[in-house]
Amino acid sequence: MRHDDTPIGRVLTRREALAVFGASGFALLAGNALGPRGRAAAHSVVPACVARPEQTEGPYFVDEGLNRSDIRSDPSDRVLKPGVPLALALVVSRISGRDCVALPGAQVDVWHCDADGIYSDVTDPHFQTVGHRFLRGYQLTDATGTARFTTIYPGWYPSRTVHIHFKVRTAPGASGKAYAFTSQLYFEDALTARVHAVAPYAARGPRAIRNDGDRIFRNGGSQLVLAPTESRDGYVASFGLGLRLDS
């Protein structure tokens, strides 16, 4: 059975969140997209903000240096991985006083398994994909702090619920420090059931683990759930991240 590494980080209590926002370093803020609720939170007093949990990067992160928005194909043959299309945007902000300001130039890496539960460019007891780089890539955030990816809805493997990994890295600031934040994104079980009922996912049969049975999801995953909306050929989802950086 395959496993991601032991989770790191945890959900912060309100008191701990206040301590985080009053200290150096950074914390994760906001939620699905930056809609009216997200904007209201960003411009409210800082104590109303809720810090998000960091989670394990797992054993399948590979720092490919693969700068691309469409991560569906393997660069060696340009064949697209089959699956329901997912347009994913991560909106990264810097917490400045009581406001969230767009953070351009941050590197956002995204990686996840294919419809068969397989990751690229790794050796695993159940597969060997070294040399292939499908469903991996990074983008630098634009002037609005947004990094956009075209991918597919992930499949499943026995030890985990359905998820997407991401890592945000910044260049050194005035303090000379660079920062990295790693976590995971999830989906509502009902949506995954609908998606996995069609090809190519359906051929694998029912998944073994749902959100409430996933040991990593139980450590704050409810704060990291995407809310995709249907598009013409798949789904669109956005997630807002707020980083507290040293000045």
Tell me the mean pLDDT in the region 86-92: 95
Q: What is the pLDDT of residue 245?
A: 76
* Residue (of 147, 151, 172, 149) closest to 162 by Cα position: 151
pTM: 0.83
Which pLDDT band, with edges at 50, 70 and 90, does 109 fall under?
very high
Q: What is the pLDDT of residue 70?
A: 98
Q: How many domains are contained in the chain?
A: 1
Show the domain range for 150. 14-243
Residue 138 located in a structural domain: yes
| CATH number for position 64 | 2.60.130.10
**In the predicted model, what is the mean pLDDT of the chain?**
82
Q: In this predicted model, which residue has the larger pLDDT, 76 or 173?
A: 76
Which pLDDT band, with edges at 50, 70 and 90, does 246 fall under?
low
Residue 5 located in a structural domain: no
Q: What is the pLDDT of residue 32?
A: 45
Residue 2 located in a structural domain: no
Which stretches of the chain are assigned E, i.e. beta strand?
85-96, 99-102, 107-111, 123-124, 127-128, 136-140, 146-152, 163-169, 180-186, 229-230, 235-243
